[in-house]
Amino acid sequence: MTHESQDASHLSRRTALAGLVGGAGVALTTGCTSSNRTSAQGAAPRPTASATGSPVGATPGVMTLFRDPAFNFNGLWALGGAGFGGSEVGEVLTAVNTINKAGLSSQTYVETFKKLGDQLMRAPEGSKPDRQTRRLRALRAAQYYAQALFFVLGSDTPESEEELYRAGRGAWDKFCELCDPAPVTAGIPYGKTPLPVWFFRPDDSGKQRPTVILTNGSDGQNVDMWAYGVSAALERDWNALVYDGPGQGQLLFVNRVAFTPRWETVVTPLVDWLVARSDVDAGRIALTGLSMAGNLAPRAAAFEKRIAALVAMPGCLEPWLGFPPEIREILTPNKVQTNNIWNKEVVPELPAAAAGTMKKRFEPFSIPAMLAAREGKVFTDFYTPAKSIEALTITSVVGRITMPTLVLDYEYEQFYPGQPRTMFDKLTSPKDYVKLTAATGAQLHCSPMAPQQHCDVVFDWLQETLPGR
Residue 256's region, left for phi above 0, alpha for psi from -120 to 50, else beta, is: left
Tens-digit pLDDT profile for residues 358-372: 999 999 999 999 999
- pLDDT for 380 equals 98
- Crossing angle of helices 3-17 and 352-362, in 10° steps, is 70
Phi, psi of 279 (to 5 degrees): -95, 15
The Cβ-side half-sphere exposure at 212, using a 13 Å CA radius, reads 32
The Cβ-side half-sphere exposure at 140, using a 13 Å CA radius, reads 24
Tens-digit pLDDT profile for residues 403-440: 999 999 999 999 999 999 999 999 999 999 999 999 99
- pLDDT for 12 equals 43
- pLDDT for 46 equals 31
Give the Cα separation of 89 and 39 in Å (integer).
37
- pLDDT for 198 equals 98
Give the Cα separation of 53 and 265 in Å (integer).
33
- Provide Rg for the chain, Cα atoms: 21
Q: Which ranges of the chain have pLDDT less than 70?
A: 1-61, 469
Question: Is the pTM for the entire model greater than 0.75?
Answer: yes
Write the DSSP string, 361-391: HHGGG-HHHHHHHHTT---S--HHHHHHHHT
Give the Cα separation of 450 and 442 in Å (integer).
5
